[in-house]
């Protein structure tokens, strides 16, 4: 079921950079430093590079499959697994994507609660954000892309204080002795770091919406590269500023680094940062939800606005049920494990299956004329 | 119809943000300074806060007593009509006895509290924090501790310090923290030297002169002054050396079983007042003066470091230096080794603008 999409619903290949970058960088960058140092210590920035390199490989695999004619996740699944099993697998992936959106939303709300409004209920903050998400996702893929663009540009102004002010407290000695950890430790830390790179896999959903999609591959790689470099830079600044023991005691190192910034008119920068961070997590949630609505339309034929409303209700319900930090951390941990399996197990498996017989089928199918047309939002 | 619905949405969002918890400045009790003392196994808490009147604002001292650190703050609420807020907390001062018992629990609480900034100043009081806070109430200067610490870092001998630096030194391996030390002096609160810690426990107080020696070793200092006494042209000369900017370089030699460290201090300084007979405008005399001052400082720093090694405290972070250059690092092993490592000091002072 290859489909064609109206050109007015598509975006230029260049925007893939923003789609990839905005979706990789999210809530994780506020506190990833503490988890990655548990194995590789202050050599963990190497692990970030390793993880980034592996993501490049996965992106290459994805594009290889998509360029070879599979178009998106659903047709790819059908090619590899056949009609019914393919649909089932697509459905499982949809749940996984929904879970990512939910956890990002829930984590953000928990930060807002922790730092700004300790007495506020989870559901009230969630509801406000959900209304905004409704507005964006209902606008269709181009609107979501626009939010991705803003999600990269607006937080960029935060980078200046983040990289400038901590240098007053920088201790270059912290990074030494360099390369003192063996490869096993580095890989173990890279494994912990990978969850921060999640979000690029959404290319499986929006690929058909890219004009001259095959040309967008370099932009996808650029998005991963810039994200990797950003993570490494933030990690190094953190390592320079905090001693290892101190980092262990801090929950959100990036926010804490901003706590030290002193600006005459503003005593505490982190309030601004947390508020602005909404622009960083919005693309994550919106693109994930858009992906799910698109999937439900492909699989079950539900109109996207209806499934969107359904999803928002499920998010609100989920937020209401998942109260408290401990279950959230458990859920995040679970998601981390699942995403590891998804990236390093499932995608390579698909790749192998695709090489074995999917490619043949896809070329066979392309020879049969008359693709169905559909209206996509 | 659709437009109307959108407006209702916008309105809803506004109403909902209004529902959140509000904390209006004039309706909460903002704590500016917190003092903690240990007395008969109980913790005495004291807090400096503002009371906003119609015409004047007054500084008030809240006092409470508890067996547990974590109940001190809730206890303040029981003695004030409005809710106590820590968002404006600028300093925490602990009594000497409290500091001797360890401050880890306290600073860990502070670093976990999102409403507390990392530029908060910590300090140690001689002998009780309460007497210092009483002095501050008497002077009616609410931010006395944080302001005087900031001022002394900028203009005098205090090394840079705040909650972050304390945590960095406390939790970082191969370092020990230090804090400003406050005493009462003729009814006035006075900043007097530094309190040195071993791990999280107060062990020793150093004076302002030693504080200068520490300052030039832990940072690129742009201030500070030290009294000196040198013999030049067979005459004794005393005066004050003012630091304009200093720079310290550490060389670590790891080849032997016990590492040795060479400290190179470079100071650009100034002597503003000196005796008539000493003609510093003469380049030859100036060179000689620089040489004499260098050897004086070298001697002082060497004595100071020996003293630190004897006390087994490491505020300079020699351990961290060794750690950053060793392939295998064992902190407890280093701790045993620390008093015996060889630390050599060289100082070179360059005098500028000698006041003529």
pLDDT digits (tens, 9 = 90+) for A71-99: 889 989 988 888 899 999 999 999 999 99
Enumerate domains of chain A plus CATH numbers: 3-366 (1.20.1740.10)
Interface contact B325, partner A, CB < 8 A:
yes
For B162, nearest residue in chain A (alpha carbons): A260
Whether B32 contacts B62, CB under 8 Å: no
Query: What is the pLDDT confidence band of residue A371, given thresholds at 50, 70 and 90?
Result: very low
Residue B99 placed within a domain: yes
Share of chain A above pLDDT 70, in %: 93
Contact A244 B170 (CB under 8 A): no
The residue among B8, B114, B159 with the most chain A CBs within 10 A of its CB, best to mutate, is B114
Residue B18 pLDDT: 54
- Chain A residues whose C-beta sits inside 8 Å of any chain B C-beta: 114-115, 117-120, 124, 127-128, 131, 135, 169, 171, 173-174, 176-177, 180, 241-246, 248-251, 256, 259-260, 262, 267-268
Query: What is the pLDDT confidence band of residue B187, given thresholds at 50, 70 and 90?
Result: confident
Question: Among A64-73, A143-152, A344-353, B13-22, where is mean pLDDT lowest?
Answer: B13-22
Rounded Cα distance between B242 and A165, Å, is 28
Residue B177 placed within a domain: yes
Query: Among B265, B266, B252, which Cα is nearest to B317's?
Result: B252
Of B206, B234, B254, which residue sits at a domain end?
B206
Residue B230 placed within a domain: yes
Query: What is the pLDDT confidence band of residue B103, given thresholds at 50, 70 and 90?
Result: very high
Residue B196 placed within a domain: yes
Query: What is the pLDDT confidence band of residue B336, given thresholds at 50, 70 and 90?
Result: very high
Of B206, B223, B245, which residue sits at a domain end?
B206
Question: Nearest-5° angle of CA A322, CA A115, CA A43?
Answer: 90
Residue B14 placed within a domain: no
* Percentages of chain A per state (helix, strand, coil), in multiples of 5: 80, 0, 15
Strand, coil or helix: what is A2?
coil
Contact B324 A259 (CB under 8 A): no
Query: What is the distance between the terminal CA atoms of chain A, rounded to a whole angstrom?
Result: 18
For B13, nearest residue in chain A (alpha carbons): A128
Residue A370 pLDDT: 42
Residue B47 placed within a domain: yes
Query: Among B173, B192, B174, which Cα is nearest to B182's?
Result: B192
Residue-range definition of the domain harbouring residue B297: 208-356
Interface contact B321, partner A, CB < 8 A:
yes
Whether B145 contacts B90, CB under 8 Å: yes
Query: What is the pLDDT confidence band of residue A282, given thresholds at 50, 70 and 90?
Result: very high
Task: Read off φ and ψ for residue B178, nearest 5 degrees.
Answer: -145, 155
Q: Where does chain B show beta strands of DSSP type E?
A: 28-39, 42-52, 57-66, 83-85, 91-95, 121-125, 178-185, 188-198, 201-206, 225-232, 235-253, 260-271, 342-351
B55 and B198 housed in the same domain: yes
Task: Read off φ and ψ for residue B75, nearest 5 degrees.
Answer: -65, -35
Contact B119 A260 (CB under 8 A): yes
The domain tally of chain B equals 2
B248 and B134 housed in the same domain: no
Task: Provide the shortest C-alpha distance from residue B186 to chain A (in Å).
Answer: 34
Q: Which residues pair with B62 in a beta bridge?
A: B47
How far, CA to CA in Å, does B260 sit from each of A172, A363, B51, B256, B338?
Answer: 20, 71, 56, 8, 10
B113 and B67 housed in the same domain: yes
Strands laid side by side in the B225-232 sheet: B225-232, B235-253, B260-271, B342-351
Contact A115 B108 (CB under 8 A): no
B132 and B276 housed in the same domain: no
CATH code, domain with B222: 3.30.300.210
Residue A372 pLDDT: 44
| DSSP string covering B38-86 | EETTEEEEEEEEEEE-SS-EEEEEEEEEESSGGGHHHHHHHHSSSEEE-
B200 and B221 housed in the same domain: no
The residue among B150, B164, B314 with the most chain A CBs within 10 A of its CB, best to mutate, is B164
Of B141, B174, B206, which residue sits at a domain end?
B206
Rounded Cα distance between B153 and B161, Å, is 8
Average pLDDT of the segment spanning B2-29: 67
B142 and B195 housed in the same domain: yes
Residue A377 pLDDT: 53
How many CA atoms are closer than 13 Å to the CA of A320, on its beta-carbon side?
A: 10
Query: Among A289, A84, A89, which Cα is nearest to A206's?
Result: A289
B229 and B292 housed in the same domain: yes
Residue B20 pLDDT: 55
Out of B165, B171, B325, whose CB is closest to A245? Answer: B171
B33 and B89 housed in the same domain: yes
B90 and B172 housed in the same domain: yes
Q: What does pTM read for this prediction?
A: 0.89
B127 and B32 housed in the same domain: yes
Question: Among A138-147, A368-377, B254-263, where is mean pLDDT lowest?
Answer: A368-377
> Which helix (H) or strand (E) covers residue A373, if one does?
strand A372-373
Rounded Cα distance between B207 and B222, Å, is 19
- pLDDT of residue A11 exceeding 70, the answer is yes
Query: Among B289, B271, B178, which Cα is nearest to B230's?
Result: B289
The residue among B15, B20, B327 with the most chain A CBs within 10 A of its CB, best to mutate, is B20
Query: What is the pLDDT confidence band of residue B13, given thresholds at 50, 70 and 90?
Result: low
Average pLDDT of the segment spanning A35-64: 94
Residues of A in contact with B249 (CB under 8 A): none
For A114, nearest residue in chain B (alpha carbons): B114
Residue B13 placed within a domain: no
| DSSP string covering B201-236 | EEEEEE-HHHHHHHHHHHS--S--EEEEEEEETTEE
Interface contact B19, partner A, CB < 8 A:
yes
Out of A135, A248, A260, whose CB is closest to B164? Answer: A260
Residue B5 placed within a domain: no
Angle of helix A16-24 relative to helix A141-164, nearest 10 degrees?
A: 60
B49 and B96 housed in the same domain: yes
B234 and B294 housed in the same domain: yes
Contact A243 B171 (CB under 8 A): yes
Out of B114, B118, B173, whose CB is closest to A115? Answer: B114
Out of A115, A169, A268, whose CB is closest to B164? Answer: A169
């Amino acid at each position: 079921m290859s489909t064609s999409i109206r050109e007015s619903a598509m975006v230029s290949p260049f925007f893939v950079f923003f789609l990839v970058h905005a979706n990789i960088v999210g809530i994780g960058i506020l506190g990833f430093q503490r988890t990655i140092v548990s194995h590789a210590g202050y050599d963990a920035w190497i692990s970030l590079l390793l993880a980034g390199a592996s993501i490049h490989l996965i992106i290459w695999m994805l594009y290889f499959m998509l360029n070879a004619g599979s178009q998106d996740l659903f047709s790819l699944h059908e090619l590899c697994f056949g009609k019914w099993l393919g649909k089932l697998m697509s459905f499982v992936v949809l749940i996984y994507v929904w879970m990512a959106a939910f956890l990002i939303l829930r984590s953000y709300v928990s930060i807002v609660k922790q730092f700004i409004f300790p007495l506020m209920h989870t559901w009230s903050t969630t509801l406000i954000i959900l209304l905004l998400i409704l507005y964006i996702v209902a606008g269709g893929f181009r609107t979501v892309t626009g939010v991705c663009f803003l999600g990269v540009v607006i937080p960029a102004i935060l980078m200046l204080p983040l990289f400038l002010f901590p240098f007053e407290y920088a201790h270059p000695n912290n990074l030494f002795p360099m390369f003192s950890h063996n490869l096993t430790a580095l890989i173990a830390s890279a494994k912990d770091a990978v969850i921060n790179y999640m979000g690029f896999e959404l290319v499986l959903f929006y690929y058909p919406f890219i004009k001259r999609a095959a040309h967008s591959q370099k932009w996808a790689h650029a998005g991963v590269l810039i994200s990797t470099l950003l993570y490494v830079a933030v990690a190094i600044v953190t390592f320079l500023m905090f001693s290892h023991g101190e980092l262990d005691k801090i929950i959100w190192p990036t926010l804490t680094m901003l706590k030290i910034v002193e600006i005459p008119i503003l005593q505490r920068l982190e309030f601004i940062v947390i508020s602005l961070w909404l622009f960083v997590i919005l693309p994550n949630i919106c693109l994930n939800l858009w992906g799910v609505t698109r999937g439900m339309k492909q699989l079950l034929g539900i109109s996207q606005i209806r499934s969107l409303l359904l999803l928002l209700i499920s998010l609100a319900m989920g937020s209401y049920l998942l109260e408290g930090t401990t279950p959230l951390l458990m859920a995040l941990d679970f998601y981390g494990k699942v995403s590891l399996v998804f990236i390093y197990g499932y995608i390579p498996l698909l790749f192998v299956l695709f090489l074995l017989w999917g490619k043949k089928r896809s070329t066979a199918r392309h020879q049969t004329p008359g693709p169905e047309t559909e209206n996509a939002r | 119809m659709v437009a109307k619905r959108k407006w209702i949405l916008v309105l809803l969002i506004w109403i909902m943000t209004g529902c959140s918890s509000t904390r209006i400045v004039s309706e909460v009790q903002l704590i500016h300074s917190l003092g903690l003392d240990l007395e008969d196994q109980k913790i005495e808490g004291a807090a400096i806060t503002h009371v906003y009147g119609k015409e004047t604002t007054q500084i008030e001292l809240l006092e409470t007593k508890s067996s547990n650190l974590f109940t001190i703050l809730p206890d303040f609420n029981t003695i004030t009509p409005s809710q106590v807020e820590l968002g404006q907390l600028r300093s925490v001062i602990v009594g000497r006895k409290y500091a001797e018992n360890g401050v880890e629990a306290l600073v860990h609480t502070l670093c976990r509290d999102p409403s507390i900034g990392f530029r908060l100043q910590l300090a140690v009081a001689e002998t009780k924090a309460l007497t210092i806070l009483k002095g501050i109430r008497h002077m009616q200067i609410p931010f006395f501790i944080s302001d005087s610490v900031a001022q002394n870092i900028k203009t005098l001998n205090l090394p840079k310090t705040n909650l972050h630096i304390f945590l960095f030194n406390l939790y970082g391996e191969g370092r020990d923290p230090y804090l400003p030390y406050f005493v009462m002096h003729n009814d006035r609160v006075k900043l007097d030297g530094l309190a040195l810690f071993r791990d999280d426990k107060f062990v020793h107080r150093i004076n302002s002169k030693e504080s200068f020696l520490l300052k030039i070793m832990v940072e690129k200092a742009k201030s500070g002054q030290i009294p000196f006494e040198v013999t030049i042209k067979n005459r004794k000369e005393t005066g004050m050396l003012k630091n304009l900017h200093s720079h310290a370089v550490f060389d670590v030699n790891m080849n032997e079983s016990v590492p040795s460290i060479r400290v190179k201090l470079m100071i650009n300084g100034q002597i503003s007042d000196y005796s008539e007979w000493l003609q510093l405008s003469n380049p030859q005399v100036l060179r000689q003066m620089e040489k004499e001052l260098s050897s004086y400082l070298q001697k002082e720093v060497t004595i100071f470091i020996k003293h630190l090694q004897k006390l087994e405290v490491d505020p300079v972070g020699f351990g961290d230096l060794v750690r950053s250059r060793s392939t295998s690092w064992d902190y407890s092993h280093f701790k045993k080794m620390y008093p015996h490592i060889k630390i050599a000091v060289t100082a070179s002072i360059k005098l500028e603008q000698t006041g003529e």
